[in-house]
Chains A and B, each alone.
Chain A
């Protein structure tokens, strides 16, 4: 007998989900994470209240902090959407990371190829397109492998992350590729060519607030995904395929085709993230920097926290982006960089743990047995 049943507690699936739970449980989980985090901060002799206050200030409230947060949030927004849309249909795309790299390679490649003479809107448009195509291509591989040979996409997409990472590194560090800067300091220290000014993505200034084009694009795509899933035939197929594959087959849908299509949409989103990373921020293909950031994996966290809802992904990406951004500002001799990551991990852990309460209710079996005995 398990410990739980000896104690007399048991989880039972809920028949009905009250609406308020969709709000109360995630917020409760978030507060729990902050509480556990406070204990951790106390152990490392930090003052939790002042740390949380500083995170709030540096992430969101200080002048200019929100602009920095938007920069941190943009890649998370794209990789979060990437994971959210794929997980919806039961395609567990862990390859957002690699698709992000490939998008960056394609987008920087097209920007360099067009050169400084191209009109700005053409260059930016071409990068958006190239990033999406690159990511879609990289996700197509695990998608078609699963559809044709029933391989496990978790493994294949994960392995392709390494292939993409090593491939991008090769372009800059191991070869005299088109992407590599060979003149100047580049002759001594390997680095990528900087994309022309015309190809660098614009930012919109709203007073003191700077909103990068990539974030706007991502938010628009999130709205588009929401409409796609809720209002279109394809979204209907996605929901049936994701929840009941054999019913989908029975109804004449083609689950493999839907899954491959969704895989490619998912990859295209991560690829767009890579394009935005090059276009809006780095302006160069930087394999080491990309691999250190781990945006693809962080996107899975974002999607999970957003419960796979594309609109919620926008908000979660901004919140996590804010914490990340504050982390940059906080870290120093007295505040190790790892603490911010630990806090993010706690938030994920508590939120996913809270999910159990949404889907199941806790039953005191002892009381139930007594009630049966009494009746």
Chain B
């Protein structure tokens, strides 16, 4: 009997999902998802934001129970009623945002919450360290087990996260956007680790929305779209174009541009010349960037996260000092590095961290709507604020921007992501800006809210505002932009007219390629 089961396990997939569905109020996050991960393969789950990748990984790791469907491991039906059950069954999650305690050592972090090694209730650190060293040797994950987390680079911290699940004897590792935080060199090392894992009979589920890395790392690819698994294919026979078509669900080769754009005579509202700036670690993050935006135009900044986009928008918003360069807003020089100056000059800014930077979560919608206008009349009658004016304007803006909330006195932390973004856009547009800088405006929003936000951005452009859209979502970039600036390692690798743009040509530039001709 045992041999029979063993031989079946050898050919049965490591993990398989059958008809997984998961609903949340108003959203079907997963709808009849089917896929299987073979033993010893890297299986990519590819999809846009909101396609259901995160929900699916939460089902696989026992955080959610599916409303319908079931999971199998090695041919046996399994059901996880807690994350611990999934871990015990051999599924390990490597989170995108590390869950490590900075002041603890590598070994202490790995041992935290793991079953005891050795006998008795005493933890023997030396045993744990030994085991970690062994695992590191086995899977090319070299980290000093006695080092403290804060001493490690981001890439090394990720190795600790991977060791953490291997230490718990995971046979299938789920990696959620693992390259998002890595440098290209670290990403190469991660690829080597994945190969080493699969060679030794482990399986990897690789979650990503980036076509290039999926093609280079995965053996097979399952594409998720709007919560459904639409196709599973071999990486070998696939191309960027074929994947993008399946992922977006329509032909993306000929991009549908919205067609209006800046009028020929429209003034340049934002002119950036030779702009450089340092990143948080004091290294050059923005290298001599020059571009301009005309009124009524949507210019997108595309690129893999961490290639200088954040530094660019922060310099424009006066939140980060520049090391060189000039910024002109509507013909006037922006010469002071403080946040008040750009606001006064007409630069509106919707930051990526909406609740943490864009809004004061404990304050009401009404109070948040005057965050940039509270100093001057009519909102202020120094030294007082006029709550009647504030509330009246709030009601009007909430009506105009369709903000759904019990009242204007509701704290913004209680709003849904889409309504938070509408409050932000309402406030920024209410200042009658000349330039609107938006950073990843639809990340994490549901499909309906995405459409609303896109429409609001196009409305802003139609009213003559120059829109600078920073986004990692190529579909969004291609749908909205008139021109696309591609950034790589702090510099601009190309500026493409949206009419001529394809996912492939932009993807090439995002990887540091020099021009779009090389693709063809």
Tell me the A residues contacting B by CB distance below 8 Å. 15-16, 231-234, 236, 239-240, 243-244, 246-252, 369, 372-373
Contacts and interface: CB of A to CB of B under 8 A. Distances in A.
Contacts of A239: 360, 362-363, 367
Contacts, number: 68
Contact of A251 (B341, B353, B372, B383): B372
Contact of A252 (B362, B363, B372, B414): B372
Contact of A246 (B341, B356, B371): B356
Nearest to B339: A252
Given A251-B372, A252-B340, A369-B81, A233 B356 contact: no
B382 interface: yes
Nearest to B375: A233
A34 to B, nearest CB: 32
Contacts of A240: 360, 363, 371
B385 A232 contact: yes
Contacts of A249: 319, 339
Contact of B362 (A16, A233, A234, A243): A243
A16 B410 CA distance: 10
7 contacts: A243-B363, A244-B362, A247-B356, A247-B358, A250-B358, A252-B340, A252-B343
Given A244-B362, A251-B339, A236 B372 contact: no
Interface string B411-439: 00010000000000000000000000000
Given A15-B414, A243-B362, A252-B372, A234 B356 contact: no
A246 B363 CA distance: 14
Contacts of B371: 240, 247, 251
Nearest 6 interchain pairs by C-beta: A252-B340, A252-B339, A244-B360, A243-B362, A251-B371, A232-B383
A233 B382 contact: yes
Nearest to B82: A369
A320 B377 CA distance: 43
A236 B374 contact: yes
Contact of A247 (B360, B374, B382): B360
Interface string B323-364: 000000000000000111101000001010100111111110
Contacts of B349: 250
A250 B317 contact: yes
A247 B357 contact: yes
B387 interface: yes
A35 to B, nearest CB: 33
B24 interface: no
A109 to B, nearest CB: 32
Nearest to B340: A252
Nearest to A251: B371
Nearest to B427: A251
A190 to B, nearest CB: 47
Nearest to A16: B414
Interface in B359-411: 359-363, 367, 371-372, 374-375, 380, 382-385, 387
A252 B361 contact: no
Given A232-B385, A240-B371, A372-B65, A246 B380 contact: no
A243 B383 contact: no
Contacts of A236: 367, 374, 385
B6 to A, nearest CB: 32
Contacts of B318: 252
Most buried by B among A15, A240, A252: A252
A243 B363 CA distance: 8
A236 B414 CA distance: 20
Contacts of A248: 360
B255 to A, nearest CB: 33
A243 B361 contact: yes
Nearest to A373: B81
Most buried by A among B340, B380, B385: B385
B377 to A, nearest CB: 11
Nearest to B84: A1
Nearest to A246: B357
A252 B81 CA distance: 48
B66 to A, nearest CB: 12
Given A243-B362, A243-B363, A244-B359, A231 B384 contact: yes
A270 to B, nearest CB: 24
Interface in B228-263: none
A15 B414 CA distance: 7
A233 B383 contact: yes
A231 B387 contact: yes
A250 B319 contact: yes
A15 B341 CA distance: 37
A245 to B, nearest CB: 10
Contacts of B361: 243-244
Nearest to A235: B385
Contacts of B414: 15-16
A16 to B, nearest CB: 8
Contacts of A369: 81
A292 B372 CA distance: 48
Nearest to A237: B374
A372 B385 CA distance: 48
Contacts of A15: 414
Most buried by B among A16, A234, A240: A240
Nearest to B414: A15
A237 to B, nearest CB: 8
Nearest to B360: A244
Contacts of B387: 231
Contacts of B359: 244, 247
B84 to A, nearest CB: 9
A307 B465 CA distance: 45
A360 to B, nearest CB: 15
A288 to B, nearest CB: 42
Given A233-B375, A243-B362, A247-B356, 5 more contacts: A233-B383, A239-B363, A240-B360, A244-B356, A246-B353
Most buried by B among A15, A236, A239, A246: A236
Contacts of A247: 356-360, 371
A94 B356 CA distance: 28
A236 B360 CA distance: 11
A238 B363 CA distance: 12
A275 to B, nearest CB: 25
A227 to B, nearest CB: 9
Contacts of B374: 233, 236
Given A251-B339, A369-B81, A233 B384 contact: yes
Contacts of A232: 383-385
A373 to B, nearest CB: 7
A247 B361 CA distance: 9
B318 to A, nearest CB: 8
A234 B375 CA distance: 9
Interface in B277-323: 317-319
B205 to A, nearest CB: 24
A91 B358 CA distance: 22
B357 A250 contact: yes
A289 to B, nearest CB: 39
